Amino acid sequence: MIECEGLVKIYKTDDLEVVALQGLNLSVQDGELMAIIGNSGSGKSTLLNILGGLDRPSAGSVKVGPWDLLQVTDDQLVKYKRDTVGFIWQNNARNLLPYLSALENVEMPMMLSGKVDRPYAKQLLDWVGLKERMHNKLHQLSGGEQQRVAIAISLSNRPQMLLADEPTGSVDSRTSDLIMDIFRRLNRELGLTIVIVTHDLSLAGKVDRVVAIRDGLTSTEFLRRNPNLDDESAFGAGGLQEVHEAYAVVDRAGRLQVPKEYLSALGISNKASMEFDGERIIITKPKPLEGEQA
């Protein structure tokens, strides 16, 4: 579904140039439920905006299904956003129109495309557990209910892929669990590809695969130890380490992203010694040259 290779995004102003993505590589399979994590400024939201057609890449390759997002025209980009992708923001104000009911909010994107389907809009609200609240105005709904309306809106165009930027960032843990259950059900029953950007490790621990981004590059990947489990007991609250195995990412040029904390623990800054003993690659701090201090 998603294939990024050497993806670069540079933001320029008159006196400043910021490289948000520095040659990022990412592959997401059709029908996958996965998360992207990273510190503030790591490039994860920039990546999501590019995948959502909200921002243009500067260089590299980024393909979503049949769409080449580096080459599309503005008119094609409008069609891509309308037909392929659904987007959920953390801030409900960006998802919802406050003077409309929940049902009218879900129907609004349909009106813009000229194909209003009220039975389907009602079905979406039923899917997210708001069948009895669909005629309520937004001020009559809690923050968690509003976020579930936002999920229903993101599905109104029947997208092939759902992108969620910190979808549980403004709700309590109980509502967060409920929203993740909705995502898992949509993924399992509709085969929907879902990519979630989050800094919440407990949330990331509830998906099959997690990709960590650092300094605009993919650095570490976490895979579920048993991807066949899909019951509540399989999803621990202890974050990634409880149910995932961590792997360092090797890009197509053979470069290995070694976790920064490992290098710091060894006192490695800009150079490292490497040995291959036939089974393992051993990375150590370089021995000082003759005359140098250790």
Asked whether residue 245 carries a pLDDT value surpassing 60, the answer given is yes
- 141 or 257, higher pLDDT: 141
- Picking from 229, 214, 230, the residue whose alpha carbon sits closest to that of residue 263 is 214
- Please tell me the predicted confidence (pLDDT) of residue 226: 66
Q: What is the mean pLDDT of residues 253-260?
A: 76
Query: What are the tokens at 67?
Result: 């769409």
Asked whether residue 240 carries a pLDDT value surpassing 90, the answer given is no
In this structure, the number of other CB atoms found within 10 A of the CB of residue 251 comes to 15
Tell me the longest C-alpha to C-alpha distance in the chain: 80
Q: What is the mean pLDDT of residues 58-77?
A: 92
Mean pLDDT of all residues belonging to the chain: 85
pTM listed for this prediction: 0.84
- Please tell me the predicted confidence (pLDDT) of residue 256: 79
Q: Give CA–CA dist 163/180, Å, rounded.
A: 13
Residues near 294 by beta carbon (within 8 Å), at least 6 away in sequence? 288
Asked whether residue 232 carries a pLDDT value surpassing 70, the answer given is no
- Please tell me the predicted confidence (pLDDT) of residue 151: 93
Q: Give CA–CA dist 286/105, Å, rounded.
A: 61
User: Domains in the chain, please, with CATH?
Assistant: 2-84+159-257 (3.40.50.300), 260-294 (no CATH)
User: E strands within the chain?
Assistant: 2-12, 17-28, 33-37, 59-64, 67-68, 85-88, 161-165, 193-197, 209-214, 217-224, 244-248, 273-276, 281-284
Asked whether residue 255 carries a pLDDT value surpassing 60, the answer given is yes
